[in-house]
Structure 1
Amino acid sequence: MSNIKKVNLGSQGLVVPAIGLGCMGMTTGFGGNVYGNADETEAIATIHRSLELGGNFLDTAEAYGPFLNEQLIAKAINGNRDKYIIATKFAFEFDENGQSTGKINGGRNYVKKAAERSLKHLGTDYIDLYYLHRLDINTPIEETVEAMSELVKEGKVKYIGLSEVGSETIRKAHKVHPLTAVQSEYSLFERQIEELGIIDTLNELGIGLVAYSPIGRGFLSGNIQKPEDLAEDDFRRNVIPKLMGEQFYKNLELVNEIKKVAEEKDITPAQLAIAWVIAKGHLPIPGTKRVKYIEENIAATYVSLTQEDLNRLESIIPLGTETGARYNEEAMKGVNL
């Protein structure tokens, strides 16, 4: 294991490496390929290489596949469960065959059902961090969190969190059972939760921010120079407005400015984007399914940025810059900030 920096995620006692590994792209999911085709052997090798480098915090969800992602992680961690910190999520409702009902379900009974299913698919008897993946607007958040807290009492879950919710929901939930983390999209390209004061709420309550898509859906890597660089069935071409139409080319100009800063520092633009999130005091979980990129991403934890560096990056994409919606209209319905 390397000496990757460890950080407290929130204030409830969970200690994690300064970077996590988003596993969503390691399997097909949400009805198609996410970030292009995946190879199981390479994905498992990526998880193992991450552990060798000190990166043992894995992020998955019941919805990724559905079920396939958790099952892949079970294969990867088999015999080494105690060396990993596993975060998974529930709320998108599925029947036992993995068929979606089209609903978000945060009801007490579904919380228990989904948790038992995730434990089975992960091949473990406990989940380190269990998130509500999306808010069920038809169930009081207090009911959902009460059910999650019962899982903690039973020893099936160690810590709990929410995903893509606003300050009011966070405060209500935190009163029922202390939250360890809130997961939301956050990057140089996507700072809506900062604009809405959600990060201020998290800081006030001692809750960690887990930032997914810290490389801006891969755009901040600088490797995507035209829409055709993404496979036709890659969901980013059809679901992510930042990467579509005229907005793509506007954002590309910003990416190319960030590339210049990275070149000066002799690091990749992706490493710069990750280092920015860490310097802001948050936990990035860039997704990858390739050994090459896990090595590059973890190396970003050793990059130091000064306040001057942060100011320069944020002057390229100032708070409030229009970079396009995070998801298309249909997908945004599940985001309740």
Structure 2
Amino acid sequence: MYNKLKNVSKCSRRSFLKATAAMGAALAVGPAVDKVEAASRAVTANGRKANMPEGTKSIAHRTLGTGTAAFEVSALGFGVMGMTYNRSQHPDKKQCIRLLHEAVDRGVTLFDTAIIYGPLNNEELAGEALGEFRGRVNVTTKFGHEVVDGKATGRQDSRPATIRRYCEESLKRLRTDVIPMFYQHRFDRNTPVEEVAATLKDLIKEGKVLHWGMCEVNAETIRKAHAICPLTAIQSEYHLMHREVERNGVLDVCRELGIGFVPYSPMNRGFLGGDLNEYTVFDAPNDNRNTLPRFTPEAMRANYRIVNVLQRFGREYGMTSAQLALGWLLQKEPWIVPIPGTTKLAHLDENLGTLAFALGKDEWKRLEDEVTAIPVTGDRYNAEQQKQVQ
């Protein structure tokens, strides 16, 4: 049913693009990751569905959350952050808008941003690029990091009045009248989670927010929040090089309570795609990877053995290392929706091409075992950033 690419001599992201230049049709084959639902329909702000224009491609859909918290989205979302924040050089605004429009045309319905990205200018970009698609796509955003006069303070503020103010400001920047999903970006130790949940419950009743979620919180906090107002999704870092949510009970509580899970940095901030190595130079003013222990030249040199495993494995199935990283997450649970970001059309097509492949459980287990056998060098965050993670 699925055409696998043969005789790919080197499965780096660049070689994949050359090898598949004439195979666009193969990547449009209906995916077997889930039961396919055409992306000719997208969830609107009030839960109804709207017809997509003719020519929009179809990709698999998944549902985050259950019951009244259920939220149907494309099986792969799009992380907007790197278009303005923390990812070195990026294209100009016109090019970014063009790429976001291409993602919509390819069936992506979930786009992710946050107040802190920029700060503010990432939401503004998302609003300018995607505001015209209201009712066709969903742009989720996040509150929590304190921003004063357009600058981050490094503090957390999730007091009810602050959440309400941030909500109103985000609505304006996103050019919409309802936020499809509003995440608490980081846990605020000075504000009880019950107050946060109650505030979101009120915002949902008022029609300003459709769903809500939390980022990088523990299982106990998830239970407390969900008891006040049902959560739609938890967003935390999760990929082949960071699997803490499998061990700390977060995935277990999501499974138990019917909460969706959205892995951010699903390719370890680009590393698992194979384009970064010990010689990569990051743009100091606008790239947090300069501050992360896992991205020192020494750590990347050691960790590149993991990329080599993905590349060797990918040659057997005609998949790139990036597609294997995303596919591994997708096969974990049907309620997991990764949000890879990119500034390149070629990488967008490559990421979405993941949905054209279906490997068996034994194959995924073999890949996982090979990667697990290699110790990861370097922590994911420095001490200061780690303090913000519950």
- Class of the TM-score when normalised by the shorter of the 2 chains: over 0.9
Distance 2:343 2:313 in 1: 26
Matches for 1:242-321 after TM superposition, within 5 Å: 242-281=294-333, 282-318=336-372, 321=375
Aligned residue in 2 for 1:14: 71
Distance 2:296 2:229 in 1: 40
Instruction: State the TM-score, normalizing by the size of structure 2.
Output: 0.81
Whether contact under 8 Å (2:282, 2:290) holds in the other structure is: no
2:177 aligned counterpart, secondary structure: coil
Distance 2:355 2:156 in 1: 35
Deviation digits for residues 246-276 of structure 1, max 9, x if unmatched?
3222211111111111122112111111111
Distance 1:320 1:229 in 2: 25
Superposition deviation, residue 176 in structure 1: 0.5
Superposition deviation, residue 164 in structure 1: 0.4
Correspondent of 1:27 among 84, 99, 103? 84
Give the aligned residue type for 1:9.
Answer: L
Superposition deviation, residue 323 in structure 1: 4.0
Matches for 1:126-275 after TM superposition, within 5 Å: 126-233=178-285, 235-275=287-327
Whether contact under 8 Å (1:189, 1:323) holds in the other structure is: no
Instruction: State the TM-score, normalizing by the size of structure 1.
Output: 0.94
Distance 1:185 1:207 in 2: 16
Superposition deviation, residue 158 in structure 1: 0.4
- How many residue pairs were aligned? 331
Give the aligned residue type for 1:87.
Answer: T
Superposition deviation, residue 135 in structure 1: 0.3
Q: Which runs of 5+ in 1 are unaligned?
A: none
Distance 2:118 2:213 in 1: 21
Give the aligned residue type for 2:89.
Answer: G
Bigger Rg over Cα: 2
Quote the RMSD (CA, aligned, Å).
1.6
Deviation digits for residues 84-110 of structure 1, max 9, x if unmatched?
111100001112x31223310111111
Distance 2:287 2:373 in 1: 26
Structure 1 vs Structure 2: percent identity of aligned residues? 39
Distance 1:285 1:253 in 2: 24
Deviation digits for residues 107-130 of structure 1, max 9, x if unmatched?
111110110110011111000011
Aligned residue in 2 for 1:94: 147
Whether contact under 8 Å (1:50, 1:294) holds in the other structure is: yes
Whether contact under 8 Å (1:215, 1:221) holds in the other structure is: yes
Whether contact under 8 Å (1:214, 1:274) holds in the other structure is: yes
Distance 2:119 2:284 in 1: 21
Deviation digits for residues 37-67 of structure 1, max 9, x if unmatched?
3421221111111111111210000111111
Aligned residue in 1 for 2:50: none
